[in-house]
Amino acid sequence: MKTVKVGINGYGVIGKRVADAVRLQPDMELVGVADIATDWRIKSVADSMTLFASTEEARKAMIAEGLQPEGTLDNLIERSDIIVDSTPKHVAAGNMTRYRAAGIKSIFQGGESHEMTGHSFVAQANYESALARDTTRVVSCNTTSIVRVLGALDSAGLLLRARGVLIRRATDPWESHLGGIMNTMVPEPTIPSHQGPDAQTILPGLDLVTIAAKGAHTQTHSHYWTLQLTRSTTRDEVLDALRAAPRIAFIRMSDGLVALNSTIELMRDLGRPRGDMWEVAVWEDLVTVLGDEAFLTYQVYNEAIVVPETIDAIRALTNLAPDAATSMRITDETLGMRKDFLRN
Amino acid sequence: MKTVKVGINGYGVIGKRVADAVRLQPDMELVGVADIATDWRIKSVADSMTLFASTEEARKAMIAEGLQPEGTLDNLIERSDIIVDSTPKHVAAGNMTRYRAAGIKSIFQGGESHEMTGHSFVAQANYESALARDTTRVVSCNTTSIVRVLGALDSAGLLLRARGVLIRRATDPWESHLGGIMNTMVPEPTIPSHQGPDAQTILPGLDLVTIAAKGAHTQTHSHYWTLQLTRSTTRDEVLDALRAAPRIAFIRMSDGLVALNSTIELMRDLGRPRGDMWEVAVWEDLVTVLGDEAFLTYQVYNEAIVVPETIDAIRALTNLAPDAATSMRITDETLGMRKDFLRN
Amino acid sequence: MKTVKVGINGYGVIGKRVADAVRLQPDMELVGVADIATDWRIKSVADSMTLFASTEEARKAMIAEGLQPEGTLDNLIERSDIIVDSTPKHVAAGNMTRYRAAGIKSIFQGGESHEMTGHSFVAQANYESALARDTTRVVSCNTTSIVRVLGALDSAGLLLRARGVLIRRATDPWESHLGGIMNTMVPEPTIPSHQGPDAQTILPGLDLVTIAAKGAHTQTHSHYWTLQLTRSTTRDEVLDALRAAPRIAFIRMSDGLVALNSTIELMRDLGRPRGDMWEVAVWEDLVTVLGDEAFLTYQVYNEAIVVPETIDAIRALTNLAPDAATSMRITDETLGMRKDFLRN
Amino acid sequence: MKTVKVGINGYGVIGKRVADAVRLQPDMELVGVADIATDWRIKSVADSMTLFASTEEARKAMIAEGLQPEGTLDNLIERSDIIVDSTPKHVAAGNMTRYRAAGIKSIFQGGESHEMTGHSFVAQANYESALARDTTRVVSCNTTSIVRVLGALDSAGLLLRARGVLIRRATDPWESHLGGIMNTMVPEPTIPSHQGPDAQTILPGLDLVTIAAKGAHTQTHSHYWTLQLTRSTTRDEVLDALRAAPRIAFIRMSDGLVALNSTIELMRDLGRPRGDMWEVAVWEDLVTVLGDEAFLTYQVYNEAIVVPETIDAIRALTNLAPDAATSMRITDETLGMRKDFLRN
């Protein structure tokens, strides 16, 4: 089997999860990870991963901390067929020319602009258009979830217009000092928020407006949708369309999954690595259809949901799999993705 | 001037604010407050209010704590023309027959059902229909805000359909042991949530669906609306309709009021008693009109917003003022209500 | 090798972790778990564990939910050599007579009183005294950590007197509706708090006073100690005593582990099941010695720290291992316990 | 009566409260306030206070926002006898030479170093030593509370050694974007923390070690003390010493004041401006004496506790009152300070 050599630049929330996922793939090899951190985040994996420093300065700092980087980002690039760049916003843009100059492929995260790569990616929606491209952008967690769920209803010919409210987690759970908000909510300073146009980079025909705000919690976003359907329909038809779509899993209030944190605990109980949930969790019993409108709520595990998309994007750019179905099947099996967490 | 004797049963979040507001009214006299608590909540006002015990058991407990209740609820009823019942849900229902039997008027809170009183009240919408009635229900904080804001657009002939997401505070700020949620959100277990039908008890023609969830904060709700207008219009027309309506005040992101807690601090800075905000605070610069749709976000200070409505309801039931405008003018002036917190 | 059949009654925060740990032991067999819940907490393991209903009522409820319990607690008792009872406080007490009547061993959790079992257990301190007993109580997470850390200094002859402040997490992360506190702290209503006397059930000679309060977070307790030493000593001597003791791991501010949540993320990064930390995490660089006083701070992962103790308690009661060292070595190896998370 | 002209530079959490307090004093006149902010924090007082811009740049920005500053800091200095500088840390140091050059007095906040002014101030401890000085520093909220409480026991000859744990609020309630921590605690990176030495700038003889950490809440610090007394004594003697001391008020668990947020609500109920508590609130029923040790817990309303000290410092530097007792009596009466919130 052909094997692609994958390097990861930026070992943060997304980078570390992509690294783990790459190692699960039969057709990929993890060359190593590059970062500028020298603390516990890197020390904890120093024995299990090949380490590179994103900069020469970082290389010296790593050595001063007793770490043994194999080299710098240049060396990682040399050894890799493709780089997944999960460095912070704005840093990534500067790296692009380096990847291009080295003649290797590259994948960026949703914090970058669509224009930077000229292509945005969600596996189920446009895998084939990324085949053999040099670069793509895996869209953000929020946008990925929107494309999965609304895309499913759109593909089923059901969706006319979508109006959503997105309540985002304020910051990631490990962050002590950055981005925390306390005992408040922070609305985005403009309506519409940027997620609508971002989803339209994948599904240009979608009539979509979003309002966003940050909530005072650290794990998972939740989205609340009002959907104008193309016609009056039944709740079952909406559920069937969602059930048929990939990477959506139903949860239910009636199973006691009544809040964001109960789903999070379920992931821990299921033995998921880091407690990750790659699926969009749609509350089945909250899906409501009134005439030609549908209403629904789902939960987005922002730390992990783009990981399978990134794996598929690697396959698309490197021609490892000819179509979305083939790639997604491998990805989903290796990760252990499910359609329902409590039923078979 | 005619003066109405007002008794308050239930000295909690709402009751204590109504008591303060009654004392500011030129045409009302506060007879006293009744409760079953014997702790700091009552001790802190023992010197400044005439105290009654809601039950005989509570009377003994109060005396044991060194408090000096004037009597029980029966005695408060005897001395009052009207009782504002702000006891917890389900307790209030049992009290109604006592008020009726004593031949006095009564006002209940939004936790009770519309059916219980047969009348629901928001001053600007239906004051006149409550004139000389025996009893009414001042609707909840969420519903009051909906009637004020959507009612304003409806009156202006602009509103065809409203779809809203309501993110509620989880519990009140003084509560240590009840109702707290931590680092999560809790969606209401049904869609639509009950606030839509509740608002329709006041504005029966409104086409309204709401989705609700609790957020991990203790002060103020926030509502996020998608409004289908009757026609394409300008943002200015929507703003004008809101500006013309009573008990709505604009706030602005551009003034640095960027989150729920900045507005709360502003109320403290303005010297508001308890930091209360009786107005619905609509973010002016988030009001967005796209063709025949409008989008807006506002903040509801749930602890206080129904206080002016309750004062007006007292006037309506007791015929103290002949119409909404007359009553609301007195209420708003005595409380110091504003149309804009930072501009004249 | 002799194998002990273990049943678990109460599949909650502790019970589910003990179940997982039992399955890792070469000398134990998990018979099954009993509970009264019928929701996601049970459905998520219905395929992987033999399920019993703690009551006949629960058995019917389970069947109604499509679960297939093997029977009730009586059946679990019949098949087991020992029951780990991790039911809620006060429920457990009622179960004791049933275990005794059936002639099997039993282990209770720290919520129960010392008097109930007549024996309290922390492996490193008093394993041998539990050999062949009928029953014991594994003390609470807070007390276990105190015995490990202060016991280490006491064994080294260094500790004269300990005064500690314990800031507890308010409720467990999955709990949406119970025990949450928001934007506050809640001091225990008495000083000293109960953890001092509780630790003295294991180490009766310890001169120990604790003050406790709940903080507004959901994961891990933190303890802050002022220790009167038996003599002036060096910081190195204190560190050596801690390093030599079992089930204590050092963490360091200088490694970027600057807050409770960074350690929690580290556990996720290390691939720990459910992100568990069984060790007491002592901040090495906060250990301070000033003359004959020492000051230190550590973090207690309350959901998991008693799991290894419970495994050892099973061995002690059933004579599976003759001494603490033998049992603890097996436990620690199977769980993957460490002395330092970032260094070898 | 002699009247002192007071200018305030820095209209933040402390500055705005000092401004309000100055206006309550019979012997002070508020000249105006200077700041660099131009948003709601300033707009909300533009009608009620004379406004200056701390810098020329800020003056232009204020005018651009429709504000009408009277001038810059230079103009405020010209008109003032004394400036209370409550600008952020490090900004204040640069201002000192300007105040000196203008020949006026100045007061700085606890964020500055003792060395900067050469004098640190807590009214009850060292008022007289500040008489006619050019400048002083009002120590921080934590340190002020320590000097009040431990100073009281020290003055009574009871205190030999104090070991404390200080759990600080993470950030102020109005802050959305700075300093928030979520679902965690953050220990100070060194033991001892700086509050011990800081208190010793006022009470040099105190044997004092503190450990500090931030908790996940926004209002009020809480301190937990272990006190080695000079001799075995009774609880009553400790309580008497605390009761006799100024600016300490007792609260009680038995009155239902069981958490930081119940005290905060009580302040709102008492009609305190902004809900402020200037007193240190000591839980009377948690004061515990065991032989020659005492244990106690109190709550520090960090936003307001230094306000009365600042007012007294103005009097000391300007010779408005000859001794602490005279100044504190005026301050305490004008603010409405209490010895007990629920009893007379």
User: Rounded distance, CA D225 to CA A274, Å?
Assistant: 39
pLDDT computed for residue A126 by the predictor: 97
C114 CA: distance to closest CA in chain A (Å): 31
Tokens of B73: 């609820």
Average model confidence (pLDDT) for chain C? 97
Asked if A174's CB is within 8 angstroms of C262's CB, the reply is: yes
pLDDT at A188 over 90: yes
Contact C261 A173 (CB under 8 A): yes
pLDDT in tens, D118-128: 999 999 999 99
Whether B183 and A258 lie within 8 Å, measured CB to CB:
no
**Contact criterion met (CB below 8 Å) for A76 and A31:** yes
The average pLDDT across A24-32 equals 98
Cα D133 to Cα D105: distance, rounded to the nearest angstrom: 8
Average confidence score pLDDT of chain A? 97
Q: pLDDT per residue over B283-324, tens digit each?
A: 999 999 999 999 999 999 999 999 999 999 999 999 999 999
Neighbours of D158 (CB within 10 A): 21
The answer to whether A186 touches A170, Cβ cutoff 8 Å, is: yes
Distance between CA atoms of residues A210 and B295, nearest Å? 10
Active-site residue, selected from the candidate residues B84, B141, B156, B257: B141
- pTM attached to this predicted model: 0.97
Q: Does D176 touch chain A (CB under 8 A)?
A: yes
Q: Residue A257 pLDDT > 90, yes or no?
A: yes
As a whole number, mean pLDDT of residues C63-85 equals: 97
pLDDT for res D177 = 76
Per the CB < 8 A criterion, the answer to whether C21 and C310 are in contact is yes
Q: Is D163's CB within 8 Å of C167's CB?
A: no
Known catalytic residues of C are 141
Chain A CA closest to residue C48: A270
Q: Which CATH number fits domain D4-139+306-335: 3.40.50.2300, 3.40.50.970, 1.20.1740.10, 3.40.50.720?
A: 3.40.50.720
Which chain B residues touch A194 with a CB distance below 8 Å? none
Q: Which residues of B touch D261 (CB under 8 A)?
A: 173-176
Give B34's contacts (C-beta < 8 A, 6+ positions apart): B7, B8, B9, B10, B11, B51, B52, B53, B54, B72, B73, B76
Contacts of D269 in chain B (CB under 8 A): 16, 41, 44-45, 274
Q: Does D183 touch chain B (CB under 8 A)?
A: yes
The alpha carbon of residue B310 is apart from the nearest alpha carbon of chain A, in Å, by 27
Number of H helices, E strands in chain B: 13, 15
Q: Could you tell me which chain A residue has the CA closest to the CA of B172?
A: A183
Beta-carbon separation of A255 and C43 below 8 A: yes
pLDDT value, residue A28: 98
Residue D106 has pLDDT above 80, yes or no: yes
User: At residue C158, does pLDDT exceed 80?
Assistant: yes
pLDDT, tens only, B89-131: 888 888 999 999 999 999 999 999 999 999 999 999 999 999 9
- How far, in Å, CA of C258 to CA of C148, rounded? 22
Q: Is B256 within 8 Å of chain C by CB?
A: no
- Closest CB from D16, D177, D269 relative to B44: D269
Per the CB < 8 A criterion, the answer to whether B301 and B274 are in contact is: no
Q: Using one digit for the tens of pLDDT, what is the confidence trace for D146-155?
A: 999 999 999 9
Instruction: Give yes or no for C173 touching B (CB within 8 A).
Output: yes
CA pair distance D63, C139, nearest whole angstrom:
66
| Distance from C-alpha of A172 to C-alpha of A13, rounded to nearest angstrom | 8
Span A80-101, average pLDDT: 93
Average pLDDT over residues D273-283: 98
Q: Do B213 and A219 touch (CB under 8 A)?
A: no
Catalytically annotated residues of D: 141
The rounded distance, in Å, linking the Cα atoms of D24 and C46 is 69
CA proximity to C250, closest of C194, C196, C298, C305: C298
Higher confidence at residue A6 or residue B89? Answer: A6
Q: Is C16 on the interface with A (CB under 8 A)?
A: yes
Strand (E) or helix (H) holding A248: strand A248-251
Is A181 at the interface with chain B, CB within 8 A? Answer: yes
pLDDT at D133: 97
| B50 contacts B42 by C-beta, under 8 angstroms | no
Partner residue opposite B180 with nearest CB, options C173, C181, C217:
C181
CA distance C56 to chain A (A): 21
Average pLDDT of span A288-311: 98
What pLDDT is recorded for position A93? Answer: 84
pLDDT given at position D262? 97
Exposure on the CB side of residue C85, measured as CA atoms within 13 A:
29
Q: Name the closest residue on chain A to residue D179, using Cα atoms.
A: A177
Question: Of C28, C77, C89, C19, nearest to C53 (Cα)?
Answer: C77
For residue B183, what are the contacts with CB-CB under 8 A and spacing of at least 6? Answer: A217, A218, A219, A261, B216, C173, C217, C218, D182, D183
Between CA C228 and CA A12 the distance in angstroms is 42
Q: Is B76 in contact with B57 (CB distance < 8 Å)? A: no
Over 90: is that where the pLDDT of A41 sits? yes
Q: Is D262 on the interface with B (CB under 8 A)?
A: yes
How far apart are the C-alpha atoms of C281 and C339, rounded to whole Å? Answer: 9
**Which SS3 state, helix, strand or coil, does residue A130 take?**
helix
Q: Which residues of B135-159 are buried (b: 16+ CB within 10 A; e: fewer)?
A: bbbbbbbbbbbbbbbbbbbbebebb
pLDDT band at A14 (very low <50, low <70, confident <90, very high): very high
**Nearest CA to CA, how far is B245 from chain C (Å)?**
35
Residue span(s) of chain D under CATH 3.40.50.720 come to 4-139+306-335
Residue C188 pLDDT: 97
User: Which residue of chain D comes nearest to B270, CA vs CA?
Assistant: D44
CATH 3.30.360.10, chain C: domain bounds: 141-300
pLDDT of residue D179: 83
Q: What is the pLDDT of residues A106-117, one digit of tens each?
A: 999 999 999 999
Q: How far is A277 from chain C (nearest CA, A)?
A: 13
**Measured distance CA(B219)–CA(D257) in Å, rounded:** 20
Closest CA to D212 of C248, A181, C281, C288: C288
Residues in chain D closer than 8 A to C184 (CB atoms) = 217, 219, 259-261
Bridge partners (DSSP) listed for residue A222: A167, A299
CA–CA dist A216, C329 (Å, integer): 43
* pLDDT per residue as tens digits for the range A233-253: 999 999 999 999 999 999 999
DSSP single-letter state for residue C14: H
Which residues face C187 on adjacent strands? C213
Q: Do D261 and C189 touch (CB under 8 A)?
A: no
Q: Given an 8 Å threshold on Cβ–Cβ distance, is C180 in contact with B176?
A: no
Full 3-state SS string of B222-287: EEEEEEEECCCCCHHHHHHHHHHCCCEEEECHHHCCCCHHHHHHHHHHCCCHHHCCCCEEEEHHHC
**C-beta of residue B319 within 8 angstroms of C-beta of residue B260:** no
Q: For domain D141-300, give the CATH number.
A: 3.30.360.10
CA nearest to D226 within chain C: C163
Interface partners of chain C (CB pairs < 8 Å, 3 or more) are A, B, D
What confidence tens digit (pLDDT) does each residue in D168-182 have?
A: 999 999 987 788 999
For chain B, positions 64-83, list CB contacts with chain C under 8 A: none
Environment class of residue C110 by beta-carbon count within 10 Å: exposed (0-12), middle (13-18) or buried (19+)? buried
- Report pLDDT for B338: 96
Strand A186-187 and strand A208-215: the pairing is antiparallel
Distance between CA atoms of A248 and A261, rounded to whole angstroms?
18
Between the alpha carbon of residue D273 and those of residues B235, B295, D21, D301, D336, the distances in Å are: 38, 36, 10, 13, 10
Q: How far is B343 from chain A (nearest CA, A)?
A: 21
